[in-house]
């Protein structure tokens, strides 16, 4: 059976953290001790990744009991007790950092995504990008959806994106689109990255399904939208901040893609504390 992305990542995390010797500190101090531990939120934001968090502990020791008191998508504040764990002290401490790494990363993505998603107006939706850590794309895009964002293409294989390098190498937008149609017909939607109004016109004539307005200011993007026709969708992209997105939301775009959702996310801070021996 094919492993999921998470299962592959989990095995890598265990190998790099435990190697052959395991947790030598905890192995020296604890034997069959049973303990109650609590997961505390130290940040304000959105929770994502509780299933992955739980599965780390069960992979290390299937007898560990994990009760999540909040669900993915819930809002957290500092001091919230997010989960309670019961089981072997050795097992819980061995799994702790691996589990927190997954939970903190995914909750950080969900949190920043919600900040952007709150700005959504009308039909305009926030998209993620392919700017993800290798191996983490499925998990990162899951966290984006938890935060209220919309997933763009998963990879190079599920949608055509004709970017500036494709256009420059092919010689023109028209030629690049024609070559894609000749190869794939209507199998894939075609998005074309445009740098100015003239390229938007050419992409529309070529039959693009989606127009990406790359690094245009709001005024230029709005002028390009005046060329809209049929069911062609328009997306804006280019180092989007919360302040910039707020302006683009007013002009009637279909999508705004934001690399910051995944490429430079701040880890959500959690703390796992031993509460005492388990009765």
Dihedrals phi, psi of 204, to nearest 5 degrees = -65, -45
Catalytic status, residue 193: yes
Instruction: Single out the catalytic residue among 125, 131, 175, 181.
Output: 131
Instruction: Single out the catalytic residue among 23, 80, 209, 214.
Output: 214
Instruction: Single out the catalytic residue among 15, 77, 121, 163.
Output: 163
Alpha carbon distance 144, 22 (integer Å):
33
Q: Which residues lie closer than 8 Å to 41 by C-beta, 6 or more apart?
A: 47, 76, 77, 78, 79, 80, 81, 82, 268, 269, 270
Helices within 19-118 (DSSP H only): 24-29, 50-60, 89-117
Instruction: Single out the catalytic residue among 43, 80, 191, 193.
Output: 193
Catalytic status, residue 97: yes
Instruction: Give the angle 215-221-225 at the CA atoms, nearest 5°.
Output: 140
Q: What is the CA radius of gyration of the chain?
A: 23
Catalytic status, residue 214: yes
Instruction: Single out the catalytic residue among 15, 27, 97, 123.
Output: 97
Alpha carbon distance 248, 152 (integer Å):
18
- Tokens representing residue 54 in the block: 């739980």
- Tokens representing residue 127 in the block: 């998209």
Which residues are tagged catalytic? 97, 131, 163, 193, 214
């Amino acid at each position: 059976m094919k492993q999921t992305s998470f299962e592959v990542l989990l095995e890598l995390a265990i190998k790099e953290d435990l190697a052959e010797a395991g947790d030598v500190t905890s192995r020296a101090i604890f034997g069959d001790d049973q303990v109650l531990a609590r997961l505390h939120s130290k940040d304000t934001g959105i929770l994502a990744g509780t299933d992955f968090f739980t599965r780390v502990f069960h992979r290390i020791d299937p007898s560990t009991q994990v009760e999540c008191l909040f669900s993915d998508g819930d809002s957290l504040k500092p001091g919230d007790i997010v989960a309670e764990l019961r089981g072997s002290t050795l097992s819980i401490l061995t799994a702790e950092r691996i589990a927190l790494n997954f939970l903190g990363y995914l909750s950080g993505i969900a949190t920043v995504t919600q900040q952007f998603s709150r700005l959504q107006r009308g039909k305009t939706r926030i998209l993620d990008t392919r700017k993800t850590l290798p191996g983490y794309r499925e998990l990162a895009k899951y966290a984006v959806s938890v935060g209220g964002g919309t997933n763009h293409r998963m990879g190079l294989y599920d949608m055509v994106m004709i970017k500036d390098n494709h256009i420059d190498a092919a010689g023109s937008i028209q030629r690049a689109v024609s070559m894609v149609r000749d190869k794939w017909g209507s199998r894939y939607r075609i998005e074309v990255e445009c740098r100015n109004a003239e390229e938007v016109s050419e992409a529309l004539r070529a039959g693009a399904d989606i127009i990406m307005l790359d690094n245009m200011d709001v005024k230029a993007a709005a002028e390009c939208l005046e060329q809209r026709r049929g069911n062609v969708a328009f997306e804006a992209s280019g180092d989007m901040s919360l302040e910039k997105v707020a302006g683009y939301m007013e002009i009637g775009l279909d999508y705004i893609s934001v690399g910051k959702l995944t490429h430079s996310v701040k880890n959500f801070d959690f703390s796992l504390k031993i509460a005492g021996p388990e009765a």
